[in-house]
Each structure stands twice: as C-alpha cells, then as structure tokens.
C-alpha cells in the first residue's frame, strides 16, 4: 500500500493506493482526496524510484521514470495505469492488471500527475507535473 501526499504546490492532496493479489496479477484500488479543480482527469503511474524526495526544481524527482520490468514504450510500461477520474476532488479507482504482482511493486512509487495521460507521447504520456506521490510499502 502507498500513502499518498501532495507536492509542495498541492499539500492538501492525500489518500491511499492499495494492491491486492488477484488471478496471477494485482487488483489496484486507489482513493484520493482534494485533487486540484483545474480538470477532472489525472494520470497515475507506478514509477521506478523508491523515494518521493524532491529537488527545488522538480517535485518527487527521486521517483524516477515509469516502472518497467522489461523495456517497453509508453503506455506498455509495467507501471502504466488507466486515468484517475476526480469528482470535485475525490477519486475512487480500481483496475485489474496482470503486468505485475503486489510483491513486485513493493519499493516502487505511485505518482499522480497534473494532467491526463495521452497514452501516446514518449516516454511518459505528456502528463505534466508530479502533484502527489507515495512509496509502495509491504
């Protein structure tokens, strides 16, 4: 499970992303609060880094790029996920994937971006700034 927290520009964002073993893969369940009101679709990915620490220039720089067990193009990265749909800042999300097991995801990071994923642009879907992050812990 990852406890999500907002970037310095979005400290109000919080929530959880949980991973359940299911049918040889993972059921991913996310619940987020106080997402920004600029729009209602947000990209969410699992990134390869283990930490949400940041630099002055780049929120959550240490989360790294999209997690991939094997080299792949976006959106075929292991950590690529469908979009998060916000309802006045609240989002509840669930998806099943066989790209990874919960055990494989431990130690990676979940990142929510400011914009939607276009599922086309390399290497990360042109999803904009990183607005929330959480490390996946066992």
Kindly list the residues in this chain that would bind Zn ion in the complex (CB under 5 A): 66, 74, 77, 80
Tell the smallest beta-carbon distance from residue 126 to Zn ion (Å): 11
22-25: Cβ within 8 A, 24+ apart:
22/96, 23/96, 23/98, 24/98, 24/101, 25/96, 25/97, 25/98, 25/99, 25/100, 25/101
Please say which residue, 11 or 123, places its beta carbon nearer to Zn ion: 123
Please say which residue, 4 or 44, places its beta carbon nearer to Zn ion: 44
Please say which residue, 12 or 44, places its beta carbon nearer to Zn ion: 44
Q: How far apart are CA 52 and CA 130, in angstroms?
A: 10
Please answer whether residues 6 and 24 qualify as being in contact, where contact means their C-beta atoms are separated by less than 8 angstroms: no
Tell the smallest beta-carbon distance from residue 31 to Zn ion (Å): 23
Tell the smallest beta-carbon distance from residue 66 to Zn ion (Å): 3
**Structure-block tokens of residue 131:** 């607005």
Tell the smallest beta-carbon distance from residue 118 to Zn ion (Å): 11
Please answer whether residues 128 and 115 qualify as being in contact, where contact means their C-beta atoms are separated by less than 8 angstroms: yes
Please say which residue, 77 or 113, places its beta carbon nearer to Zn ion: 77
């Amino acid at each position: 499970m990852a406890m999500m927290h907002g970037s310095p520009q979005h400290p109000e964002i919080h929530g959880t992303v949980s991973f359940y073993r299911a049918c040889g893969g993972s059921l991913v369940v996310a619940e987020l609060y106080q997402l920004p009101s600029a729009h209602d679709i947000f990209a969410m990915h699992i990134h390869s880094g283990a930490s949400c620490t940041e630099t002055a220039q780049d929120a959550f720089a240490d989360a790294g790029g999209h997690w991939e067990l094997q080299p792949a193009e976006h959106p075929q990265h292991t950590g690529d996920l469908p979009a998060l749909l916000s309802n006045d800042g609240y989002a509840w999300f669930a998806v099943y994937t066989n790209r990874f097991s919960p055990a494989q995801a431990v130690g990676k990071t979940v990142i929510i971006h400011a914009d939607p994923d276009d599922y086309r642009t390399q290497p990360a879907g042109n999803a904009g700034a990183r607005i929330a992050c959480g490390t996946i812990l066992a």
